[in-house]
Amino acid sequence: MCSIPFSQGHDGSIIAPFKIGFCTCRKAAPPLGAPADPAGAPWACPGAEPRRAQGPLRFPPMAWITKPSATMKIERRDEPYLTAAMKDELTRTVLPRYEVKHGALLPALHMIQHEYGWVPHQAMMEIAVFLGLKPADVIDTASFYEEYWLRPKGKHLISICRSIACEFCGHEAITQAVKDELGIDVGETTDDGLFTLIELECLGSCGTAPVALVDETLCENLTPEQILQRIRDVRAGKAGGHH
């Protein structure tokens, strides 16, 4: 019996399997240029047993969730995120490095995040206009990379590596110490908006695991006590910076 999937007949019913060339049961193949039968059905494998089921084909519901993207409203403020000074810097120092403006997209997104701590949708729209890109291209790029934040986060970001080297060297104890100190879980921000805690994949310093980033500073060979001291230094203004 041929195992080729059934095809749909003109009346919506399910008809016998068919395939051009050898079928899966390998019993025969149609002559080259063989015409369809008078009913208009394609060549059917002679090894298959024709069957017909009554009624139209039924398809399962869509497996994805649709979103009303076309009706989404972007929160806007009167003051632009991509300021005149930023545009001037991009024009003078970034754009000349690329053959096309599209190449400056990642640096522009970094510039926005460095200044505001995240990348608002209004800023992405402004970048799209400045670089002559479709807004969808900017949003797709920003949402693809974990580096970019599309929602507000704390003033200081604590990023603990959870890759295999850091896992073997006790990164869970580092994460737990921070959670206990700040009273938040991974992915959360303190009520005062000062700290956000995340875990991420390899920071490229496996030889000094466990490691973490506190803002833009790499902290190596960490112990729970060391990461807590780093947090206290940030609170006291002795450490920390942009991310």
Which pLDDT band, with edges at 50, 70 and 90, does 39 fall under? low
Task: Assess whether 48 and 2 both reside in one domain.
Answer: yes
- Check: CB of residue 78 under 8 Å from CB of residue 50: no
* pLDDT reading at 227 higher than 90: yes
Asked if the structure places residue 199 within a domain, the reply is yes
**Cα dihedral: 101, 103, 105, 111 (round 10):** -100
By CB atoms closer than 10 A (0-12, 13-18, 19+), residue 47 is middle
For residue 200, give the CATH number of its domain: 3.40.30.10
Q: How confident is the model at residue 6 (pLDDT cuts 50, 70, 90)?
A: very low
More confident: 178 or 39: 178
CB atoms within 10 A of CB 122: 16
| Mean residue pLDDT across the chain | 81
| Average pLDDT score over residue span 146-161 | 92
pTM over 0.75: no
Position 241 confidence tier, pLDDT thresholds 50, 70, 90: low
- Looking at residue 238, its pLDDT comes to 76
| b/e map 210-227, b = 16+ CB within 10 Å | bbbbbbeeebeebebebb
**Which residues are within 8 A (CB) of 51 and not within 5 positions of it... i.e. 6 or more apart?**
6, 14, 16
Domain count, the chain: 3
d(C-alpha 87, C-alpha 82), whole Å: 7
Same domain, 183 and 223: yes
Q: Are residues 184 and 219 in the same domain?
A: yes
User: Is residue 68 one of the residues assigned to a domain?
Assistant: no
Question: Which residues span the domain enclosing 88?
Answer: 84-144
- Does residue 67 belong to any structural domain of this protein? no
Over residues 19-42, the mean pLDDT reads: 49
**21 vs 84, more confident:** 84
- Contact 45/19 with Cβ under 8 angstroms? yes
Residue 228: phi, psi to the nearest 5?
-70, -40
User: Confidence band (pLDDT; 50, 70, 90) for 7?
Assistant: very low
